């Protein structure tokens, strides 16, 4: 009996040692670079989806107010009920089965579906965005994105809360990573000009935001991460990449703190560029973003 107790104790101790060894496993530099690249890709994709939804929502609002017929070319816009007074409404933005390019130079196919309780410009309006076989720049997007108009902030800028739940992104090469988000978007420029009214692309491309908040996700290698803004992210809707800002990244299950620094214009000469710096294991790694 004592022999069996000794063996059981030995096996239990070995299992505990093995589990502790697994828990202390440190992510490799290559895996960390992949995690950070996927996290900023997810962040960028969902941010541009909000911009695209708002633009198409403006088209719907204008067509309803002016009683004009929707264009039959892609993207096709469908709103139900098709009036100005009945809410909630379902707005479907259908890009078709072949990729088409938007004025923001992003490629899209599939559908964005918006369940709205009012037009996005109205304070307290809430939009729930889901997807039907939706692809952007070759990435398949799934999940639920909820946007609420918070009204004007202390700077008299429109402000929106944005939440992403069950976000899943599948890359063109078949790798899947997950993303959750809770952020505040302050519309700092371009909120008083409208592409739909003027027909001038500049009235879309002058839209700029500051974004702050928290994010989390799981990389394609299975690593859980948490992310927060250390310096607000500055974006322009016609720039493919975040222009400035700093994100802090931690891995709860691993001994690692990272940082993503979107290079300021003083270093590159151009605010809109695909350059960033990842700080991993206290070493800086210049990155060209996808």
Q: What is the tens place of the pLDDT at every residue in 77-118?
A: 999 999 999 999 999 999 999 999 998 889 999 999 999 999
Residues whose CB falls within 8 Å of the CB of residue 82, separated by 6 or more in sequence, listed in order: 64
Neighbours of 26 (CB within 10 A): 12
Span 210-228, pLDDT tens digits: 999 999 999 999 999 999 9
Where is average pLDDT lowest: 12-21, 36-45, 109-118?
Answer: 12-21
- In degrees, rounded to 5, the angle at the alpha carbon of residue 208 between the alpha carbons of residues 182 and 93 is 70
> CB-based burial of residue 83 (10 Å sphere; 0-12 exposed, 13-18 middle, 19+ buried)?
exposed
CB 109 within 8 Å of CB 134: yes
Q: Is residue 35 part of a domain?
A: yes
pLDDT band, residue 21 (cuts 50/70/90): very low
> CB-based burial of residue 124 (10 Å sphere; 0-12 exposed, 13-18 middle, 19+ buried)?
exposed
pLDDT band, residue 23 (cuts 50/70/90): very low
Which of 177, 179, 145, 137 lies closest to 53 in space, CA to CA?
145
Q: Is residue 3 part of a domain?
A: no
Q: Is residue 243 part of a domain?
A: no
Residues whose CB falls within 8 Å of the CB of residue 67, separated by 6 or more in sequence, listed in order: none
Distance CA 159, CA 152 (A): 6
Q: Is residue 215 part of a domain?
A: yes
Q: Is residue 263 part of a domain?
A: no
Residues whose CB falls within 8 Å of the CB of residue 139, separated by 6 or more in sequence, listed in order: 41, 45, 169, 170, 171, 172
Q: Is residue 70 part of a domain?
A: yes
Q: Is residue 254 part of a domain?
A: no
Sign of the C-alpha dihedral, residues 100, 40, 207, 80?
positive
What residue numbers bound the domain in which 133 lies? 31-238
Q: Is residue 25 part of a domain?
A: no
Task: Kindly compute the dihedral angle of the four CA atoms of residues 222, 224, 229, 234, in this order, to the nearest 10 degrees.
Answer: 20
Q: How many domains does the chain contain in total? A: 1
Position 102 scores a pLDDT of 92
């Amino acid at each position: 009996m004592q022999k069996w107790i000794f063996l059981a104790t030995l096996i239990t101790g070995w299992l505990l040692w093995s589990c502790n060894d697994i828990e202390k496993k440190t992510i490799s530099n290559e895996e960390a670079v992949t995690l950070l690249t996927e996290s900023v890709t997810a962040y960028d994709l969902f941010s541009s989806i909000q911009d695209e939804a708002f633009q198409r929502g403006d088209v719907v609002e204008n067509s309803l107010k002016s009683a004009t017929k929707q264009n039959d070319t892609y993207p096709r816009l469908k709103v139900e009920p098709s009036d100005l007074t009945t809410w909630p409404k379902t707005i479907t933005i259908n890009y078709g089965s072949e990729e088409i390019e938007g004025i923001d130079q992003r490629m899209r196919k599939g559908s964005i579906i918006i369940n709205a309780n009012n037009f996005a410009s109205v304070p307290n309006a809430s939009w729930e965005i889901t997807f039907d076989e939706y692809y952007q720049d070759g990435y398949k997007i799934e999940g639920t994105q909820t946007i609420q108009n918070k009204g004007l902030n202390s700077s008299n800028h429109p402000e929106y809360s944005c939440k992403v739940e069950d976000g899943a992104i599948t890359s063109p090469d078949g790798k899947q990573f997950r993303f959750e988000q809770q952020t505040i978007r302050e519309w700092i420029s371009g909120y008083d000009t409208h592409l739909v009214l003027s027909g001038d692309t500049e009235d879309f491309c002058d839209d700029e935001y500051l974004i702050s908040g928290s994010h989390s996700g799981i990389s394609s290698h299975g690593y859980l991460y948490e992310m927060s803004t250390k310096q607000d992210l500055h974006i322009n809707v016609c720039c493919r990449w975040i222009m400035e800002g700093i994100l802090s990244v931690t891995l709860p299950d691993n001994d690692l703190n990272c940082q993503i620094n979107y290079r300021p214009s003083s270093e590159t000469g151009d605010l809109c560029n695909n350059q960033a710096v990842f700080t991993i294991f206290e070493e800086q790694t210049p990155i060209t973003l996808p």
